[in-house]
Amino acid sequence: MTSQTTTPTEAAAPARRAAPDDSQLGAWRAFLQTHARLLHRLDEELQAAHGLSLAEYDALLQLAAAPDRRLRMSVLADRVLLSRSGITRLVDRLVADGMVQRYPCSSDARGSMAVITAQGVNRLRTASRTHLDGVRRFFLDVVSADEQDVIEQALQRVSDGLVGRLGEDGACPSMADA
């Protein structure tokens, strides 16, 4: 198990070291499986209780947390990890449900701002009880504070490593934020 801290020899060359052994994939498997199951469950609960998908919830959350309760479409897309077209459609749905309004952007006539409505805020608040309760029950209550620290650190490192290496894809423009 603890053996590969070595990481020797090949820095740049993708000269494959031995493929990870089955026994080394425990954490990886747990990661995948847990995510799938947990997200499925949370989505289900949220959907059942409030007719909101996790993506929609997340979008509302981002908007509510943003200064002025509004965000540029592209920034929102960025935050909820959705493509531009994806966010267009998601916002379409939210608008149709009266939870968001779309404004032309004053400073850049190409852009749109998505603004969460009062109704959207309410809906979000109610939904958040369900959602956060789920997160607590299934995740926070089950993972000790120490474990959470480790998880946060380690996974954050993984995540950072990914955005750093934006090279061959360009799919995740992390550009402007304000």
Q: Which residues bind a second copy (CB under 8 A)?
A: 1-5, 7, 14, 16-17, 19-20, 24-31, 33-38, 40-41, 44, 81, 128-129, 132-133, 135-136, 138-159, 161-163, 169, 171-172
Q: Residue 165, interface with DNA (CB under 7 A)?
A: no
- Output the CA–CA distances (angstroms, integers) from residue 7 to 18, 20, 58, 69, in the order listed: 11, 13, 38, 46
Q: Which does 155 bind (CB under 5 to 8 A by kind): a second copy, DNA, none?
A: a second copy
Please identify which residue in 92, 133, 149, 160 interacts with DNA, judged by CB under 7 A. 92
Is 33 one of the binding residues for DNA (CB under 7 A)? no
- Told to check if 89 binds DNA by CB under 7 A, we report yes
Entry field: residues in the chain: 178
Q: CA-to-CA distance for 163 and 142, rounded, in angstroms?
A: 29
Contact segment (CB under 7 A) with DNA among 5-13, 19-27, 111-119, 137-145 equals 111-119
Q: In which order are the strands placed within the sheet that holds 70-72?
A: 70-72, 112-116, 100-104
Distance in Å, CB of 58 to a second copy, minimum: 9
Q: Which residues contribute to the site for DNA (CB under 7 A)?
A: 53, 55, 72-75, 77, 81-93, 102, 105, 108-113, 171, 173, 175-176
